[in-house]
Structures are given as C-alpha cells and as structure tokens.
Amino acid sequence: MTRDIHAYLAELEDIPGTRVFTAERARQGYHLNQFAMSLMSEESRVRFTRDERAYLDAWPMSEAQKQAVLDRDYNRCLDLGGNIYFLSKLFATDGISFAEAVSTMTGMDFDSYRKMMAAGGRSPDGQRSIREGR
C-alpha cells in the first residue's frame, strides 16, 4: 500500500464513474451530508416533507446543493460532496429502496438495473481504470 498521500489520492480519481469520499469531497459536502443525516428522526422527516425548501434553507448549503436535493439528482449530489450513506437518509425518507435510488445514478431505469443485478451485476471489465483503459 502506497504511503504517499498524493499518489494515493490521485489513484482514487482513476476509477470510471466513481467519486471516492476523500477529504476534498467531505469538506465540500459537509452541510449537505449533515442535512441528510438530520433526517434520522420522524419529526425531521415530517418537517422536511411538509416544506422541503424551507427545511433546506435552514442549512448553510450552496444553492446548487439544495437544488440537487430537491431534484433528487444523486449524481449531482455526489459531485457536490454528498456521500451515499448520508444521502440514504434522504431516499429512505422518500420510501424508496437503496437499489432504486442507486439505479437512478446509472442511466438505467430501475427495471433494467434490477435485471442487470439478477444477471450477476455490472462487470468490472473496462471499469477498473480510466488511465489504463482496463
């Protein structure tokens, strides 16, 4: 395992279609993630569901982050520093499953995604490294 943090972090950006939750993303997404985590009580979920915009405005998030939440655009949430385990509180609030929420990030509809999973999932071939194209 490499002990040079720069090389270590650079490698993490070399994986196709993947945003690893590094310090950089953790810092950018800090309040987005803290907002999502606030949905861990029924009382918060009710307040959020009643008026999403007002609930979001109580958090020091960027407008882009708020809009990504309102749109349930999970890829955009990830781009803006969201982490999937934090965001899972949001899709649990919506009452949708982990698999369905995840499928929205793949460009597939849920049914096709489910079929892909039932057939053994996405192959790692060609998905390992951007640089090495393998």
Partner 1 sequence: MARITAGIASSHVPLLGVASDQGKDRDEYFGPIFAGYDWTRTWMEAERPDVIILVYNDHASAFDMTVIPTFAIGCGERYKPADEGWGPRPVPDVAGHPDLAWHIAQSLILDEFDMTIINEMAVDHGLTVPLSMMFGKPEKWPCKVVPLAVNVVTYPPPSGNRCWALGEAIRKAVESFPEDLNVQIWGTGGMSHQLQGPRAGLINAEWDNSFLDRLAGDSDDLRHIPHIDYLREAGSEGIELVMWLIMRGALGAAAKALHRHYHVPCSNTAIGHMVLRPDNGEGFDMSGSDRQRSATP
Contacts with partner 1 by CB under 8 A lie at 1-6, 8-9, 11-12, 15-23, 26-27, 30, 33-34, 36-37, 39-42, 45, 74-75, 78, 83-86, 88-93, 95, 97-99, 102-103, 105-107, 113, 116-118, 120-124, 127-129
Smallest distance from partner 1 to CB 56, Å: 16
* Residue 55 or 91 having the CB closest to partner 1: 91
Q: Which of 91, 70, 89, 76 minimizes the C-alpha distance to 28?
A: 76
Smallest distance from partner 1 to CB 22, Å: 5
Q: How far is CA 74 from CA 43, 69, 83, 90, 126, in A?
A: 24, 8, 9, 10, 23
* Residue 50 or 121 having the CB closest to partner 1: 121
* Residue 49 or 54 having the CB closest to partner 1: 49
Taking the C-alpha atoms of residue 123 and residue 134, their distance in angstroms, rounded to an integer, is 11
Smallest distance from partner 1 to CB 51, Å: 18
Taking the C-alpha atoms of residue 50 and residue 121, their distance in angstroms, rounded to an integer, is 37
Cα angle for residues 52, 54, 59 (degrees, 5° grid): 95
